[in-house]
Every structure is written in C-alpha cells, then in structure tokens.
Amino acid sequence: MTGNGDFGRRIHHHRERLGLTLEQVADRAGMSAGYVQHLETHLGTPDGGTVTRLATALETTPRDLLGGGHDRPPGQGAAADEPVLEVLETEECLRLVGPGGIGRVAFSGSHGPTVLPVNYRLHDGDVVFRTARGGAMDEDLRSGLEGVDIGIAFQVDRIDEVRRAGWSVLIRGAAHHVPDEEVAKVSDAGVTPWAGGERHLYVRVIPQQITGRRIHGL
C-alpha cells in the first residue's frame, strides 16, 4: 500500500470491510481487476463516473469514498425506514467481536467514571488488551485486595451510516492483570496497543455477561 493516496486507501478499506477480492469488486463495478488494483495502489482520483461505480460496488457513497464528511460526527442522518432493533444471542455477539479491532473499556477510575479506547483481541474466549505498566489504567484496575477483581465493561460497535444500520456488543466482566508467566501464551493473540508506545502490561477481561443489539431496516 506504499505510494497510494487517500482515495486508494478508502477503496482498500471498504473492500476489506466487505471481504471482497479485487476481482469481485471489479465485477461489481464493471471494470478490470487490474484497474481496481491500480486505483488502490497509486495516487490520484478517477473521473466521477468511475467513483460512482466503485462506490456502488463497495456499498458506500461517492462522497464517503472521496473523503467528504469525515470530520462530521456520526449519526447525523435520518433513521432507516421502519428500523428493527434485534437482540443478539451470545454466539452472534462473540462472532461479531471475534475479528478484534478497537473497543472501549469503561470502569470507575480514580478520577471518576472513565471510558478509554483500546485495541483488543479474543483469546480463549477472553478479551485481551495492552496498557502501560504503572499507568492510570494499570492502577485503576487493581483492587489492592487478594481475590477481589475490578468489574469493568467492554464495548464494541460498528455503524454503517449509508445503510442506517449497525450493531453494538457489551461485555461485562472482571479485569485480570496477566502474570508474567502467562504473557507468552496470551501474546499469541497478537494484540497491539492502540495508542502505541511502551505498553507491555496485558489485561484480560473474563466475560460474565454478554449482550448485544443490531439495528437494521426492514
């Protein structure tokens, strides 16, 4: 992906979001796979007709593909016609959060209610993320009492502004600092810190309650 511009990165992002190959996008857009690959990996923006065909193929809008409105807060549009709110089973919740990515950790911190973004992975059914040793999260997630854990909430969502649809999964459980002798095993999850830097403390959240909702149109 070296040498490409924002337009190419957005094509690549939406293609991966949908799990499509270059050939599948090309077939949807009525163009060659080589041309789609060229657009992904080179600077520049094609003509309006090509942008529109690609946006349709990638189930987004030309405005989004061109980067318009990215500074706008999400959720500004109207709701879908006759929206349906669906309660998700535990298995579906785990399937949705299974690929990992960015989630939010919520807990009662030393300065009050706190919500922070973290990169996470699932490992043996638990949520795993990394933080800095000696940092605020490290201290706030320690009870100081043997056998007493800090209860936290972990949330992940995905919102599709174009389709006026999305889902949200909430996991409640106890936070455990992974001991040094178990780090090698947990590191197999491949989680990296969202904020970068020296963040070598692994924290495991053992789910005790998993709930989820999905909203979509009829």
Flag whether pLDDT at 2 surpasses 50: no
pLDDT category, 73, cuts 50, 70, 90? Answer: low
pLDDT reported for residue 3: 41
Asked whether residue 4 carries a pLDDT value surpassing 50, the answer given is no
Q: What pLDDT is stored for residue 180 in this prediction?
A: 84
The CA-atom distances, in angstroms, between 209 and each of 40, 115, 174 are: 41, 19, 10
In whole angstroms, give the CA distance from residue 216 to residue 160: 10
Distance CA 196, CA 34 (A): 35
Residue scoring higher pLDDT (210 or 60): 210
- With bands split at pLDDT 50, 70 and 90, how would you rate the model's confidence at 31? very high
Do 22 and 119 lie in a common domain?
Answer: no
Q: Which domain holds residue 127?
A: 84-216
Q: How far is CA 188 from the centre of its chain?
A: 19
Residues 93 and 164 in one domain: yes
Residue 144 lies in a domain: yes
Whose CA is closest to 89, among 169, 206, 172? 169
What is the predicted pLDDT for the residue at 99? 87
Are residue 125 and residue 33 in the same domain, yes or no? no
User: What's the pLDDT at 161?
Assistant: 64
DSSP letter assigned to residue 66: T
153 and 205 fall within a common domain: yes
**In angstroms, rounded to a whole number, what is the distance separating the alpha carbons of residues 116 and 1?**
30
Mean pLDDT, residues 112-135 = 91
Q: Do the domain assignments include residue 72?
A: no
Higher pLDDT pick, 115 / 143: 115
Average pLDDT over residues 161-175: 85
Highest-confidence segment of 2-11, 104-113, 139-148:
104-113
pLDDT at 69: 56
Write down the pLDDT at residue 1. 36
Structural domain count, the chain:
2
15 vs 44 pLDDT, higher one: 15
Angle, CA 159 vertex, CA 175 and CA 44 arms, to 5°? 115
Q: Domain of 33: which CATH number?
A: 1.10.260.40
